[in-house]
């Protein structure tokens, strides 16, 4: 009996140390946004989502929505700097919009809600419609590209089933599961229940383990990644910042699907797998031999069953000409991602152009309508960590009563099409130097 108490004390002490270490390490690795165009998009249920826009100057390229996976955020696409998928697409002239879904550290829940209350269904029914409508209003495009990693790709399939594909141009998924047929992913019930009750603790443990695992080259079971296949410029800090809040509803739902339950959303009314029979959007699918969430055998069956003829699948493995057998996580930032992932994506998007709306949005005087920029005090609610360095001390001391300014083009002839169209559901952060 004494031995049990001692063992319990040791385990409890180690957990406490790890938890405190996790909090400390989070204060070390501070987020540094690589864009000054940061929007807060409001959903119908009053969540505010951070959407980061990356583009070359004020270019009006075709919009690309980048949607991250479970337990992640948009930095899956923005790291490493100058060598990320976003950088590659921006250099090609695309207008990249990277969303952080509800529950991420950057999201702002309404009164009475917490970030860990976010639900999987709300991604589909609340977040994505609000973000897509915002992008349409701002850019003037009525179709856009969609790149989804992991759950971000599954959400594409679900969105196409629920809302149709008319607004989608070139679609790309990386390691997107549809159920877990042929896989051996299964979490014990007691772990699922523990996670559901203590999501903050589990999130802190996960963050704490990343630096340790990377330094000691230990397997990251919750983070299925091939460390030797990482881009050489991916640092421990990058991996730490890519990992976001682990949300109970999202992971419990995924665990249920892994145990054989139907892949359904919308309270059971939307069968994602059955809905694929209507998926006719142009689709480029990436799979990986070492991905524990999508078996290659089932991936091929899924691909062959897609009704669209405009489809392509790329297997990121040595048997298919790649330098490494990929795992699930590192697809967007592997050491050969430029040649093996980014270039095929760019070719696919170029072959399926997005289209602009025929009408412009102007005010009564014919001027292009702008979007209210975030006031300095409002920026502090969007940015974190070293992003504060973009603000001068004078700006940080600005009283909270300051009204945001309105950005407008000087004459209707400045641009052929609207750069920013009015969107009352969103606010924008502009560079202090702009």
pLDDT attached to residue 2: 64
CA-based nearest residue to 260, from 359, 369, 182: 182
Say whether 407 sits in a helix, a strand or coil.
Answer: coil
Give residue 169's pLDDT. Answer: 96
Predicted pLDDT at 365: 66
The predicted structure's pLDDT at residue 412: 29
Q: Are strands 144-149 and 168-174 parallel, antiparallel or unpaired?
A: parallel
**CA geometry: angle 48, 51, 54, nearest 5 deg:** 165
Per-residue pLDDT of the chain (434 residues; tens, 9 = 90+): 666 667 666 667 766 776 677 667 767 888 989 998 999 999 999 999 999 999 998 888 999 999 999 999 999 999 999 999 999 999 999 999 999 999 999 999 999 999 999 999 999 999 999 999 999 989 989 899 999 999 999 999 999 999 999 899 999 999 998 888 878 777 788 888 999 999 998 888 888 888 888 888 776 656 789 989 999 999 999 999 999 999 999 999 999 998 888 999 998 999 998 888 878 899 999 999 999 999 999 999 999 999 988 999 999 999 999 999 999 999 999 999 999 999 999 999 999 999 987 544 556 665 545 444 344 554 444 443 333 333 333 334 433 333 333 233 332 233 333 344 434 445 444 333 33
Dihedral angle sign, alpha carbons of residues 271, 148, 334, 313: positive
Give the pLDDT confidence score for residue 4 in this predicted structure. 61
Question: Residue 308 and residue 145: Cα distance in Å, rounded?
Answer: 17
Q: How far apart are the C-alpha atoms of 414 and 26, rounded to whole Å?
A: 44
Among candidate residues 374, 372, 375, the one with its CA nearest the CA of residue 422: 372
Are 313 and 201 in contact by the 8 Å Cβ rule? The answer is no
Q: What pLDDT does residue 213 have?
A: 83
Q: Which residues contact 166 (CB under 8 A, 6 or more apart)?
A: 143
pLDDT at 184: 75
- The predicted pLDDT at position 418 comes to 38
**What is the Cα–Cα distance from 257 to 294, expressed in whole angstroms?**
13
Q: What is the per-residue pLDDT for 366?
A: 56
Which CA distances in Å does 390 have to 37, 258, 405?
12, 44, 18
Q: Which tokens belong to 351? A: 């072959």
């Amino acid at each position: 009996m004494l031995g049990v108490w001692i063992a319990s004390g040791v385990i409890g002490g180690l957990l406490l140390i790890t938890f405190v270490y996790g909090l400390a390490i989070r204060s070390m690795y501070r987020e540094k946004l690589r864009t000054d165009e940061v929007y807060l998009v409001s959903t119908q249920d009053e969540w505010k989502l951070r959407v980061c826009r990356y583009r070359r100057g004020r270019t009006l390229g075709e919009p690309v929505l980048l949607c991250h996976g479970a337990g992640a955020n948009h930095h899956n696409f923005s790291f490493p700097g100058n060598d990320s998928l976003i950088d590659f697409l921006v250099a090609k002239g695309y207008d990249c919009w990277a969303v952080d879904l509800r529950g991420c550290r950057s999201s702002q829940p309404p009164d009475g809600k917490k970030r860990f209350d976010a639900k999987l269904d709300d991604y589909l029914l609340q977040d994505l419609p609000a973000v897509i409508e915002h992008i349409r209003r701002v850019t003037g495009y009525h179709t856009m590209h969609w790149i989804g990693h992991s759950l971000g790709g599954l959400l594409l399939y679900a969105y196409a089933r629920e809302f149709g594909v008319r607004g989608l141009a070139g679609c790309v998924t990386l390691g997107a599961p549809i159920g877990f047929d042929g896989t051996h992913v299964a979490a014990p019930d007691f772990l699922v229940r523990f996670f559901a009750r203590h999501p903050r603790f589990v999130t802190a443990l996960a963050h704490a383990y990343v630096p340790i695992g990377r330094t000691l080259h230990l397997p990251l079971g919750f983070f299925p990644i091939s460390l030797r296949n990482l881009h050489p410029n991916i640092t421990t800090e990058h991996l730490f910042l890519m990992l976001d809040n682990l949300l109970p509803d999202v992971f419990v739902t995924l665990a249920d699907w892994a145990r054989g339950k139907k892949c359904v959303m919308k309270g059971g009314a939307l069968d994602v797998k059955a809905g694929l029979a209507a998926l006719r959007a142009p689709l480029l699918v990436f799979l990986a031999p070492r991905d524990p969430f999508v078996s290659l055998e089932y991936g091929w069956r899924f691909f062959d069953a897609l009704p669209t003829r405009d489809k392509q699948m790329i297997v990121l493995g040595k048997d298919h000409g790649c330098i490494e057998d990929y795992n699930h996580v590192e697809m967007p930032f592997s050491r050969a991602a430029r040649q093996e992932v980014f270039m095929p994506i760019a070719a696919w998007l170029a072959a399926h152009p997005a289209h602009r709306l025929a009408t412009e949005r102007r005010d009564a005087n014919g001027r292009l309508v702008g979007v209210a920029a975030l006031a300095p005090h409002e920026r502090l609610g969007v940015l974190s960590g070293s992003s504060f360095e973009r603000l001068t001390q004078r700006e940080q001391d600005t009283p909270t009563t300051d009204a945001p300014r309105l950005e407008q083009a000087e004459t209707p002839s400045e641009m052929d099409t609207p750069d920013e169209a009015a969107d009352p559901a969103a606010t924008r952060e502009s560079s202090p130097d702009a």
